[in-house]
Amino acid sequence: MKDKAFMKKMHINQLRFYISGMNLLTWDHMKTNDIDVEGGKVSNFPTSQYWTVGLNLNF
């Protein structure tokens, strides 16, 4: 395989690529798009999406 030949040429013993996500697909039923941070209503804040991307190399 070309992958193993490339890894051997670059002196890489192990390679791991990963992607992780949280709240990637959400539906909100907010009645207003007006978000007031000083309003005190936590339910007015939209849900945030989080992405984690990483690469582990062992030589």
Cα–Cα distances in angstroms (integers) from residue 43 to residues 22, 27, 39, in the given order: 19, 14, 10
pLDDT for 25 equals 78
Instruction: Note if the pTM is more than 0.85.
Output: no
The tens digit of pLDDT for each residue in 10-49 reads: 888 988 999 999 888 766 665 555 555 566 555 555 667 8
pLDDT for 18 equals 95
Structure tokens, 24: 């990637």
